[in-house]
Structure 1
């Protein structure tokens, strides 16, 4: 059993949270290469040594900020398992895109950026694979089938690119429109699967995606 938190431990956690908030702010404002350890420490109002203590270095602070942002975005498995697949995916994407729309700088410079360190790219790819794996399972597709993996990866790249362009253009259409556009992109990727992997059945997955929920479902 762990004992009660001491004042020193509470103070240390408070400092870590201040550093983490400062890192998220700094990495949202500028590309990774332009941010220094000193920038983060100054924004948090602490010494650079404390950043090294909590995160080791700039890369460690970046990865912590990236993980926090991705945690805040949520995950598909945690989204209303009682809903049918199409409604569940739409509800998750609505929350996902709304978060990015509310934090456009964080989205462009941290969550959807490829300008970070190699460790950040590896984390991004791992999160992408996990998300696409969950999407396959909810649609009844085999995530280990090479054709499925390839088509869904292309779909994921396309939606990320669409989201980046949407944010850079000042969000010229609404989140619900972006959600339905993403659904149509996914339907297109799924319908291409039998061409890439003969024998893959996609009729059920397409029906699940195109079946729109009632207006009040998922709310």
Structure 2
């Protein structure tokens, strides 16, 4: 490591240096989202990424180690945004909370299609780390639903299995919707919320401690 790199690493440990470092990293991730939205992973080299970002290639290596690390960081950031948007239900009643969660999920998929596809399809081939990210986002979404419906985070096995089945259907419907663009988002929201309500009532039959919210008025 040369003296310039040492000074840079030392400065990044100060509060001001940390803030600058975090801001720079966030900028690179935002640029990466745009790049990977239009171009496949394999088609982008580190030179391409550095040129589009307007930075030296070494800076990307500094923050992310390599292209794969950069891509995984972008997916992780996309996951955090997806879960935050889906889960920002505040103090809404349970039925409205569920609709808000589904609508937030679809809005994210609609406006970040490349990132969404990477999250739910495993990204680069069968990359184990990307698949692990997908598993984490599913867990966090299931926790968001459980908290919104039952005010709890622990799920009985049957409830977890049933909701996982519903979420798998959500992923398939969402992928088809953003590809075909034939239905308004509000229609897809209603379709998925109706399916979730049916799933919750089925869960209640087997797990009385997990009551379904009242049916929304038609």
Q: TM-score range by the shorter chain?
A: 0.7 to 0.9
Aligned to 2:35: 26
For 1:88 and 1:191, the matched residues in 2 are separated by: 16
User: Relative CO higher for 1 or 2, CA cutoff 8 Å, sep ≥ 6?
Assistant: 1
Aligned to 1:217: none
For 1:97 and 1:30, the matched residues in 2 are separated by: 22
* Equivalent pair of 1:76/1:89 in contact (CA under 8 Å): no
State yes or no: 1:177 paired with 2:187.
Answer: yes
What's the CA shift for 1:103? 3.0
SS in 2 for 1:158: helix
Aligned to 2:70: 61
Alignment of 1:1-219 (within 5 A): 5=16, 10=20, 12-13=21-22, 15-73=24-82, 74-80=84-90, 82-108=91-117, 110-116=118-124, 117-140=127-150, 143-169=154-180, 171-193=181-203, 199-201=206-208, 204-207=211-214, 210-212=215-217
For 1:58 and 1:190, the matched residues in 2 are separated by: 42
For 1:63 and 1:26, the matched residues in 2 are separated by: 14
Q: Which moved more, 1:25-34 or 1:144-153?
A: 25-34
Give the TM-score, by structure 2 length: 0.78
Q: Which moved more, 1:13-22 or 1:95-104?
A: 13-22
SS in 1 for 2:212: helix
For 2:208 and 2:30, the matched residues in 1 are separated by: 46
**Cα gap change, 1:46 to 1:185, in 2 (>3 Å):** same
| Count of matched residue pairs | 202
* Equivalent pair of 2:75/2:119 in contact (CA under 8 Å): yes
Unpaired runs of 5+ residues, structure 1, are 214-219
For 1:35 and 1:151, the matched residues in 2 are separated by: 39
* Equivalent pair of 2:203/2:210 in contact (CA under 8 Å): no
**Cα gap change, 1:152 to 1:102, in 2 (>3 Å):** same
For 2:154 and 2:85, the matched residues in 1 are separated by: 17
Q: Per residue, is there more helix in 1 or in 2?
A: 2
Give the TM-score, by structure 1 length: 0.77
What's the CA shift for 1:143? 4.3
Q: CA RMSD in A?
A: 2.9
For 2:202 and 2:15, the matched residues in 1 are separated by: 57
What's the CA shift for 1:160? 0.8
For 2:146 and 2:15, the matched residues in 1 are separated by: 43
